[in-house]
Structure 1
Amino acid sequence: MTARRVIFDGRVQGVGFRYTCKDVAKGFEVVGTVKNLPEGTVELEVMGEADEVEDFIKEIAEESPMAHNIRGMHVTNIPPLEGVTGFTIAG
């Protein structure tokens, strides 16, 4: 299992970005959460097989209806997500 945290920067709050992430997640074998952060960015935490996680992130960043809203993204490895089932919008 691979777990990643992605911070998306740009016009990512108030435009349906989190809902788009949740919708895209339906097409992948991943679990995780997505939430708005106070500084105007969006945090995605996702876990699954490495190729599923990478393809999921790529789909959001390059092919989703929100891709044009993303100005930048910072991806880091994180420890496995404990007790997370499904994909949810947090906060």
Structure 2
Amino acid sequence: MSEQTEDRRRAHVFVTGRVQGVFFRATTRDRAEAVGVDGWVRNLEDGRVEAVFEGTDEQVTEMVEFCHEGSPAASVEAVEVEREPPEGLSGFDVRR
């Protein structure tokens, strides 16, 4: 088993606030690609943004911390984080 596989983490995140229509998903994708995490982000019908990040502990932590701020126009009220077993995602997608 490689060290990379052993160190892989997954966070399932729900962000509440003014987070839709403010480039939150695009900014999250750009940051995720810069950090090197895999996963996806999407808007939910209830106004929240949902995201999944997979990578090293440091990469996932950086993305969760980013969600507390979001895009420059966002106003984040709360971030809920659920830790889950990694699924081996590859790349980062904006889902609709």
**Band of TM-score, shorter chain:** 0.7 to 0.9
Identity within the alignment, %: 34
Residues 12-31 of structure 1 aligned to structure 2 (within 5 Å) = 12-31=19-38
What is the letter of the counterpart of residue 40 of structure 2? T
User: What count of residue pairs does the alignment treat as equivalent?
Assistant: 89
In structure 1, which of residues 65, 72, 80 is the aligned counterpart of residue 78 of structure 2?
72
What is the letter of the counterpart of residue 29 of structure 1? G
> 1:49-74: per-residue Cα shift (whole Å, max 9, x none)?
111110122134247525x5111110
Residue 39 of structure 2 corresponds to 32
Classify the secondary structure of the residue corresponding to 1:51: helix
Query: Alpha carbon RMSD of aligned pairs, Å?
Result: 1.6
In the superposition, the TM-score normalised over structure 2's length comes to 0.82
| Alpha carbons 1:9, 1:42 under 8 Å: kept | yes
In 2: Cα distance, 1:14 partner to 1:44 partner: 16
Residue 86 of structure 1 corresponds to 91
Q: Choose 1 or 2 for highest CA Rg.
A: 2
Structure 1 residue runs of 5 or longer lacking an equivalent are none
Change (3 A) 1:56 1:35: same
> 1:8-42: per-residue Cα shift (whole Å, max 9, x none)?
00001111110010011122121000001111100
In structure 2, which of residues 12, 36, 57 is the aligned counterpart of residue 50 of structure 1?
57
| Alpha carbons 1:35, 1:44 under 8 Å: kept | yes
What is the letter of the counterpart of residue 92 of structure 2? F
